[in-house]
Amino acid sequence: MSKTNKIKAKAQEVKGAAKERVGEAAVDESLQAKGRAEKTKGNLKQAGEKVKDAFKK
């Protein structure tokens, strides 16, 4: 897994978590949903890169 992809995926996950928390604080369900979606995308990208790494070895 390239370090750049790792960093981007983690940043996306953190950004999504932050959006989700802001949505909770503001009682904004739309923002919460967007945050959860972005966090999930980041998690999936990380998992995909880990699978790639596993097959490289």
What's the average model confidence in pLDDT over 4-14? 90
Q: Is the pLDDT of residue 42 over 80?
A: yes
Question: From CA 1, how far away is CA 8, in angstroms rounded?
Answer: 11
- pLDDT given for residue 1 in this prediction: 53
For residue 40 the two structure tokens come to 């999930």
Q: Helix, strand, coil: what percent of the chain each, to 5?
A: 90, 0, 10
What's this model's pTM, rounded to 2 decimal places?
0.79
